[in-house]
Structure formats: structure tokens, C-alpha cells
Chain A
Amino acid sequence: MKPVNVVVLGGGLVGCAAAYYLARRGAGVLLVEQGDLNREASGRNAGSLHFQLEYRLIRYGDELAAQFAQIIPLSLVALEDWRGLEAELRADLEVGMHGGLIVAESDADVALLERRQALQEKWGLASQLLSAAEVRRMAPYLAESVIAAGYFPHEGHANPRLVAPAFARRAEELGVTIQSQTRVTGLMRDGAQWVVTVVDRSGRAREVIADAVLNAAGAWAGEIGALAHLHLPIFAVPLSMNVIERAAPLIPHLVQHASQRLTLKQVAAGNVLVGGGWPSRFSREGSAMSTQRRADPVVENVMANLTLAARLVPAIGGLHLLRSWTGITGITTDQMPLLGAVPEAPGFFVAAGGAAFTHGPTYARLVSELILEGRPSVSIDLYSPARFSHINNFMASV
């Protein structure tokens, strides 16, 4: 085994992909995951590859939307990354980029689409506004109530079940050591190095010394930050997802709604995935919300989510809801990713937050370039944890 240069904390998509990119550049990598690989957000998400601005970014007024639109340059990089991913990993990831429609059902929706369109254009993402007739032609499966849609031809989806495991397989081929069912419980800086305490399934603790640590713990990135005596302003939120039984191919696009929480797509096996950011609920542990247990579904939200889906795509109304599940993802205070070095803790890197299924491989690639080469091939300064230096300034030990 190579000496460990980097310990990657978290075995979701970001962690598995980072392990791969780091190893490809020759680093010795240990990846530590408290549960099984890909069992949290990265394996439980909706699989949307959305490059247009999501509803959560546009709904809080023009000023904030303009700020959130800064994600687009990264989205455009991610788009290119996804195009090459199946070849790079020699795996079928069920990537389908056949276009995304954000549908409008009212004049207010149309106005929202227009604003979104303008912002996207400003940052170099060329989407179109389709008329009712154009929508009908392109997507005959949509209901009559759809009067317009924002269209971007390269949006789509991939299968979350497959992506992180493919990265993990390739990472292992490159010599990465993966320890699942192993939890990180301590992080200490010792001179230029990090001492990482990990506890395996049988409760045995050991220490690993590394030059750098990469916090890829998703919704739990804040807790990992705390182990290193840092504040990372990322919040765990519980979402829900639904899958409808298999049907004949019907929906080639990624479908979203202009003003309501909905994402809908049909995966390769024929199942229709319905989500869109409807909340589930954390259970309580004393006075705190528990992020270590699966969140509970909120039945009304499941019903409302599916009602909306069946309204927009009437043909799915005769099918069964196969399963619903919940997943926990991390949202930062300003909705931008936390991507880069924490200046107050040399050797401590973060890649978390945001829509990190779409952006995960890109986060991972760029942050590994930063770790090993000092600068990434595309600037990620906009997303740097340095923007929270006004907090960590008071946390740093030196």
C-alpha cells in the first residue's frame, strides 16, 4: 500500500469520485465511510442532471436569484464532465441527456421562466422558451395545462445507483483503500500533517496520518468540520423521493415545474422517478433533530408531489407508486457549494453542498486538482470556504 497522502471522509459520489481523481494523479488515498458506499444522498437522490437554475435558486426574489446564478459556470463544466463520464469509467451509468423542460401552467409561471432565461443567458447558458404548441410537439405526454416551457437541450439524468460505485471500482483499481462501515471520530492537525481517528465496525479505533483531508461528508460535512474545530455552515435537510412502477418508454426529458416542487423523469428500466424537494421529517433525539436516522416521510407531501406529477403527466395516473424514500442532503447558508481549502486549517479541504449529483464529479475533479497541484483547471474561488473566514477566523487554533 502506498503511503496515505489524502484521507477522503465520506463515501458518497463526491468522496468516491475524489478518491478516483486523486489516485489518478498518483496520490495515495484512504477513503473512509461510516456506512456503506453510496447509501446516503448520492444513492438516494433523483438523478437529475440539471443545468438550468433550479426552482430553489430562483424562488427568493431577483436579487438572490442573481447571486445564486453564479453556479452556472460550474454547471457548464459539469455538463462537459458528464458527457465523458461513461467512457472515463468504462461503465454504463444510464446517462441520458435528451433535454430538460421547465413547464409553466400560468402567466406568473411564464414570467418566472423569462426571468430565469435572462439570468441564464447572462452567464452563458443558452436555453429556449417554448410555446404551448412547441411543448405539445416535443412532449406530447404533458397535460393540456402546460402553456410554455423553458428548454435546455442538454439536461437529463443518470442513475444514482450506478455512478458512485463505478468511481469506487476504478479508484480501487488505482490502489485506493476503501474502508466502509468505518467512522471518522477525530481530526487533529499535527504540524503539517493530519491525524485522523477512525473506528471500524467492531469498535476498534486507529489513527491514520495524512498530508491532507478532504471532507466529502455531504449533509454531515458540518460535523466533520466540528471534529477539526471549524464551523462549516451547511445544514442537513430531509427530502423525499418516489418511484413509480415500470412503463413503456414515454418521457425522454427531465421535467421540472416553473413554480412548484417537481422533478420527473423516466429511467432506463422504465420506472418514473418523482421528486422535487418535498420535505420529509427528521425524528427527534432529545431536543435535537436526528440526522443519523432515516427521516420519516410526510404523507401529505408524498401525496401532493404525486398529485402534481399525475396532473402534468396524466398517463402515469394508472400506475402504482412502487416506493417512497427519504434522503438527507446538505444546503449551505448561501446555497452555493463549499468547495476548496479552508484557509484557517491548512490541509483541510471541503467539497459539499449544492446539487452534488449533477456537480459531484466536477467538485471532485477540481478539488483534487487543488489538493495535488495547488490550483484547479477551472477557478472555484466563487465557492471557496474562504467566504466564511469571518467565522473560522475565531476557530483556528493558530
Chain B
Amino acid sequence: MGASDQQVSDATCDVAIIGAGPSGLAAAAVLREHGVGVTVIDEQPRAGGQILRQPPKNFSVAHWLPAKLYDRVKAALHAVSEQQDIDWRFQSTVLGILRPSAYRTLRADASGAAGPESAAVRSHMERQTSVAGPDQKLGGGAHELWIQGPSGCYLLRANAVLLAPGCYERPLAFPGWTLPGVMGAGAIQGFVKSQQFVPGNRFVLAGSHPLQLVVADQLLTAGAQVAAVVFTQRKQQALRMLRHPFVALRHHRQLLETSHILRRLRRAGVPVIFGHTIVRADGAHAVEKATIAEINPSGTIDHHKTHVFECDRIGVCHGFLASSELARQAGADMHWKDHAGGWLARHDDWLESSIKNLFVAGEITSVDGADAALEKGRIAAVGILRSLGRLDDNRARSLASNARKRLSHLQRFAAVLQQLAQPPAGLALQTMSDDTLLCRCESIQRGELQRALADNKHVLSADAAKLLTRVGMGLCQGRLCGDNVARVIADARGVQPDEVGPFQAQAPVKPVPLAALTRERITSPRPRM
């Protein structure tokens, strides 16, 4: 079923996969081979996830992502993306993972639900809910997804759910970071690889993650100017890690690719600067220049040793945070691992989370990269088949064993990369000045939070700080400030960020237009500010 004409599905949803990235796609392939009904839900218009953001269907692109490092994920994409027996639901956001309840009809007492609107809501919900047949086991383990699709909200019941929502970029807050023209490096890359569009003229890339080399290279190829690529790491440190025998032997392909890129950048005259961090962005109405400063060996920024680059775009690249909101909202056990993506879902051998039949795969279990995401998706799919009784334990083990082997190799490389790519400890606290916007949505400055913490000694958690100051209360629901807020609180209280906790995640995990919830035609424009 196509995405745009997706209206009503009366198919039984055996397994719902949230996220059509490498791990979701790899899982879909395995499940499909075993004859299990698969529904794949993704916010994006097409499959591929972040690494393979596809160009629009009606574009034709001659050499899309030619580099070898995309080969495996591309193969996984092509294996399933045209399969019609998968129920693809694009441009659809999962707002929550809920426990199905017996209490599923609106109570039509005089108290509230009476009236034609609620009847409309109800009948709509009934139509859109895939009701499992009588032979299906619905109790313990089934889940209900709250979905905002192109034509409104509905619930979808699934016997098992694979949560593979990937990650997003870890933002660094610094003076000027809300100026038009400052974006994530991956955001810039998304324009290039999917939109076939160079979203600016002259770019500075700054951060700690090697992805920025790839982005710089892609920008150059697309004809953009790259003013500089700035790494927080010192050069020696980076080289030492890359020369780690394990990495050098097993992952020579990646290393080779990196050295090719470095050579191309050098040839194009792009300075690659180590041991520096972005400290501010300036411009009258949009970015005009980027200031970087040296990080001295003790890890502190030396604001006297700066360079200024003229540019109209800055891409920041400090690694990734797992998209942990749905897992947290569902109540899955989480743990915090700073360099592996922050809050991650705990899981067993089969990638089942602490909640029955809620499986997790891809970056949500640890930001290990796209190839690892593929293997996790495969293992989770076998785990689901086993949990649904489609495979016995022995068969499941043998089916998953190759994927497990490959995954353990990939994870050893990932662990090295994670260490290498981690911004220096305390960087975020150093780049934010007192009046830097910590929370972009609610315009809360770092100093405001700090003063509130000083005045209210009992505020120990991110949630308590949110309640007091509004940090994290805006449209991004804390995705862009949560990590930095936790660091500020942890610093003030002398604890670790995980003791401060993430903001509580609640359904809906993303804002929803009221129109999609109420299903009433909106006739008046929104009240203006």
C-alpha cells in the first residue's frame, strides 16, 4: 500500500517496525522471508533512514552515494524497498507506544465524550485500528501504537514492535548557535544526499565526529566551498587511535576512505584544523563568520587563541544522541553511556527490551553505525520470530549466529570510534556563555537555569529544572537542550549527568497539530504572535 493513499488498513499487524533505516529495513527483510506481516512506519517520505536519505522518487540521480561505505546499507534498502507485501506507512509519526487496554471505547456518559465529535473520533479510531484476529495472542506483549498519519491520528495494534528510531545530532550550544545558517553537519548532508541541494555557499564544519569529513567531501564534490574543517581532537590523539592495530587491520576500508577524503580536502586547499572548537557564530541577520579557539592540552578553551573564518553556513558535528524518547515513554529500562549516544535501551540477547515484545535495534541500543544497525535489525527480527513462536530456540540461534559474529566485530570498531569521536569532557559547559540560549524553543539562557538552581537547592533532576524554568518545554520537547541541561545541572550539583536523568518522555513524543487529533476541518488561521 502506498503512503499517500494509505487510508484504512484492515490487515492484521503482526509486527510493526518503527523506523525505515538500516536496522528497520534489515529486520523487515528477515520477517518477510518468514511470512510474517510487517508494517513499517517512518516520518520521512521514503525508506533509508538517516544514512540513506533518498532523493525524491521523481528525481533521477546518476551517481547517488557512490562511496563504497554505503554498499551494504544500499543492498539492504534495495532488498525490501519495492516489496508490496510490506505495509509501508511513510510520513507517519509514531507518537507513543501504549499498552493495549480493555478500556478501548470512549465512555459516552454525559461527562465528556458524548456528542457527535467524539463519535467521529471513535469511529475513526475503530476504522484505523488493525484488530487482530481471534487466533492472535493479544494479551501481555501486544502493543498499541499511536500514529499521526497523513490523514490524522489512529491507533495500530501490533503483536510485536521493533523500535529502530535511530539517532539525531548532539547539539553544542555556543554564542550565536541559533543564528540562521548554523545547522547540524548531518542536516547539511541531508540536503546534499537527499535533496541534491547545496544549502549555502561557504561552509565551516566544526566538531569532533569524523562524519564531518564525509560531509566536507560531499560538499566539495557538489561544488560548494569549504572554509575549514575543525576538529576538537589533537592530531596526535586522532592518529594514535586510528593506528590501533585492531582498527587498522580490520577496518582498513574505512581508514582508506578517510585518507582519500583528507587528500581530496588538502588538494582543494581546505584547512583541516585539529585541537580547536567553534566558540561563536556572528552575523547581522545570518551567519557571516565563525570563530574557533584552541583547546589547550588540559582540555580548556583558550579564548585568546582564535581564528575567524568567513562563511555563510556552519555545520556542527559532535556525534549523536540516540532517539530514546519512544523507548523511555514506553517505560523500557534505559542506561546512560555518554560516548555511545546518551540514553540507550537495555535489552537481552535477542534485543528484546525490558518490555515484552518490544524489541530495539539500531542506534537506540548504542550508536554503533549503520553496518552494525543492519546486524542488530537481523538479530532482533529473529528474536521476534522466536518470541512469536515462529522459530524454535535452536533454529533461531543458528539463524542469528552470522549476524552476531559480524556485529561483535563491528562493535569493537564502533567502540574505538566512539572514544575517538567524543568531544572533550566539559566542552559543552565551556562553549556556553551565561547568555547563550540553552533552550532554543523557550528562549532560556544558561544563566537563567543556573540562577534557578542556585535559588532552589532541591532541584536535582532535569524534570524538576524543567518544571521550574521551562527549559525543555518547547516544540522539540527537549531533544536539542536535554543533554546540555543535564550537564549544567550535574555540574552545579557535583553529580554525573545520568543522575540528573533525561526529561520524562510522554506520549505524544512529538507535538501534533490539533487538526490531526480532532479531525475537524480547521477554518480559521492560527492566532498570530
- Taking beta carbons and an 8 Å cutoff, which residues of A are in contact with B? 11, 36-39, 43, 55, 59, 161-162, 165, 168-169, 172, 178, 180-181, 244-248, 250, 259-262, 269-270, 276, 278, 281, 283, 293-294, 296-308, 310-311, 314-326
Q: Is the CB of B458 within 8 A of A303?
A: no
- 8 sampled A-B residue pairs with Cβ under 8 A: A36-B461, A37-B464, A269-B442, A301-B112, A315-B524, A315-B527, A319-B527, A321-B517
B466, chain A: closest CB distance, angstroms: 9
Q: Does B65 contact A (CB under 8 A)?
A: no
Q: Contacts of A308 on B, CB cut-off 8 Å?
A: 112, 115, 117
A320 lies within 8 A of B113 (CB) = no
B527 close to A247 (CB less than 8 A): yes
Residue of B nearest to A180 (CB): B458
What string of 1s and 0s marks CB contacts (under 8 Å) between B470-493 and chain A?
100111010000000000000000
Q: Are A248 and B528 in contact (CB under 8 A)?
A: yes
Q: Does B239 contact A (CB under 8 A)?
A: no
Which chain A residues lie closer than 8 Å to B506 at the CB level?
294, 297, 323-326
C-alpha gap A183/B331 in the complex (Å): 23
- Contacts known (A165-B456, A300-B121, A304-B112); A247 close to B529, Cβ less than 8 A: yes
Q: Contact partner of B527 among A38, A248, A324, A326, CB < 8 A?
A: A248
**B467 interface residue (CB < 8 Å to A):** yes
Stretch among B248-256, B344-352, B508-516 lining the A interface: B508-516
A-facing mask of B517-529, CB < 8 A → 1, else 0? Answer: 1111011111111
Say which residue of B110, B113, B122, B467 sits within 8 Å of A59 (CB atoms). B110
**Chain B interface, number of residues (Cβ within 8 angstroms):** 61
For the complex of A and B, the 8 pairs showing the least CB-CB separation, nearest first, are A318-B526, A261-B112, A320-B511, A307-B518, A317-B522, A36-B464, A247-B527, A307-B117
Rounded to whole angstroms, the CA-CA distance of A43 and B461 in the bound complex is: 14
Nearest residue (CB) in B for A160 is B467
Q: Is the CB of B511 within 8 A of A276?
A: no
In the bound assembly, the distance between CA atoms of A334 and B72 in angstroms comes to: 66
**Do the beta carbons of A278 and B518 come within 8 Å of each other?**
no
Min distance, Cβ B446 to any Cβ of chain A, angstroms: 19
**Contact among A59, A248, A303, A322 for B121, CB-based, below 8 A:** A303
Whether the Cβ atoms of A181 and B520 lie closer than 8 Å is no
Q: How far, in angstroms, from A281 to B331 measured CA to CA in the complex?
A: 14
Q: State whether A302 touches B468 (Cβ < 8 A).
A: no
User: In the bound complex, what is the Cα–Cα distance between A281 and B508 (angstroms)?
Assistant: 15
A324 touches B507 (CB 8 A): yes
Closest B residue to A262 using CB positions: B112
Known: A250-B527, A300-B106, A304-B106. A321 touches B511 (CB 8 A): yes
Q: Is the CB of A306 within 8 A of B458?
A: no
Given A245-B511, A320-B511: A299 in contact with B96 (beta carbons within 8 A): yes
CB distance from A179 to the nearest CB of B (A): 9
Give the contacting residue for A168; candidates B99, B104, B456, B517; CB below 8 A. Answer: B456
Docked Cα-Cα span, A372 to B121, in Å, equals 54
Which of A38, A260, A283 contacts B112, CB < 8 Å? A260
- Does any Cβ of A come within 8 Å of B59's Cβ? no
Tell me which of A278, A306, A322, A325 has the highest count of chain B C-beta atoms within 10 A of its own C-beta.
A322
Question: CA separation between A321 and B517, bound complex, in Å?
Answer: 9
B298 on interface, CB distance cutoff 8 Å? no
Which B residues from 104 to 125 make CB contacts under 8 A with A? Answer: 104-106, 110-115, 117-118, 121-122, 125
Which residue on B lies nearest to A276, using beta carbons?
A: B112
- Measured CB to CB, the nearest residue on chain A to B104 is A300
Q: Are A318 and B514 in contact (CB under 8 A)?
A: yes
Most chain B C-beta atoms within 10 Å of own C-beta, residue among A11, A36, A259, A299: A299
Are A269 and B508 touching (Cβ within 8 A)?
Answer: no
With a cutoff of 8 Å between Cβ atoms, the chain A residues found around residue B113 in the complex are: 300-301, 304
* With known contacts A297-B96, A299-B96, A315-B524, A320–B512 Cβ distance under 8 A: yes
Chain A residues, CB < 8 A from B513: 318-321
Query: Inside 8 A of B507's CB, which chain A residues have their CB?
Result: 297, 299, 324
Q: How far is the CB of A38 from chain B (nearest CB, A)?
A: 7
B382 to chain A, nearest CB (A): 29
Q: Are B523 and A305 in contact (CB under 8 A)?
A: no
Is B394 in contact with chain A by the CB < 8 A criterion? no
Other-chain contact of B522, A180, A293, A318 (Cβ < 8 Å)? A318
Residue numbers in B under 8 Å from A303 (CB-CB): 121, 125, 153, 517-518
B460 in the interface (beta carbon within 8 A): yes
Given contacts A245-B511, A323-B477, contact A39 B111 (CB under 8 A): no
CA–CA, A303 and B396, complex, Å: 41
Which of B111, B457, B459, B514 makes the CB contact (< 8 A) with A317?
Answer: B514
B508 touching A318, Cβ below 8 Å: no
Give Cα distance in the complex from A116 to B13, angstroms: 49
Contact status A278-B112, CB under 8 Å: yes
| Docked-complex contact B125 and A269, CB < 8 angstroms | no
A339 and B515 CA atoms in complex are apart in Å by: 43
Distance between Cα atoms of A319 and B101 in the complex (Å) = 29
Contacts A294-B504, A321-B511, A324-B508 known; A299 to B146 CB distance under 8 Å? Answer: yes
- For residue B155, CB closer than 8 A to chain A, the reply is yes
Residue of B nearest to A320 (CB): B511
A11 contact set on B, CB distance < 8 A: 458
Whether A321 touches B468, Cβ cut-off 8 Å, given contacts A178-B458, A298-B103, A299-B146, is no
**Which chain B positions have C-beta within 8 A of A317?**
514-515, 518, 520, 522-524
**B42 within 8 Å of A by Cβ?**
no
Given contacts A169-B455, A322-B474, contact A298 B111 (CB under 8 A): no
Rounded to whole angstroms, the CA-CA distance of A319 and B520 in the bound complex is 13
Please give the distance in Å from B368's CB to the nearest CB on chain A.
30
B98 neighbours in A (Cβ, 8 Å) = 296-297, 299
Chain B residues lying within 8 Å of A322, measured Cβ to Cβ, are 473-475, 477, 511
Identify A39's interface contact among B155, B455, B467, CB under 8 A: B467
- Could you tell me the distance between the alpha carbons of A310 and B508 in the complex, rounded to whole angstroms? 18
B363 an interface residue at 8 Å Cβ cutoff? no
Q: How far is the CB of B439 from chain A (nearest CB, A)?
A: 12
B463 is an interface residue with CB less than 8 A from chain A: yes
Question: Are A36 and B121 within 8 A (Cβ)?
Answer: no
Beta-carbon contact of A281 and B526 below 8 Å: no
Roughly how many angstroms separate A304 CA and B115 CA in the complex, as a whole number?
A: 10
Cβ-closest chain B residue relative to A243: B473
Determine the chain B residues whose CB is within 8 A of the CB of A36 once the complex forms: 458-461, 463-464
With A36-B460, A281-B103 as contacts: A299 and B511 at CB distance below 8 Å:
no
Cβ-closest chain B residue relative to A293: B331
Question: B474 contacts which chain A residues (CB < 8 A)?
Answer: 322
Chain A residues near B526: list those with CB within 8 A.
247, 315, 318-319
In the complex, the answer to whether A260 meets B504 with C-beta atoms within 8 Å is no
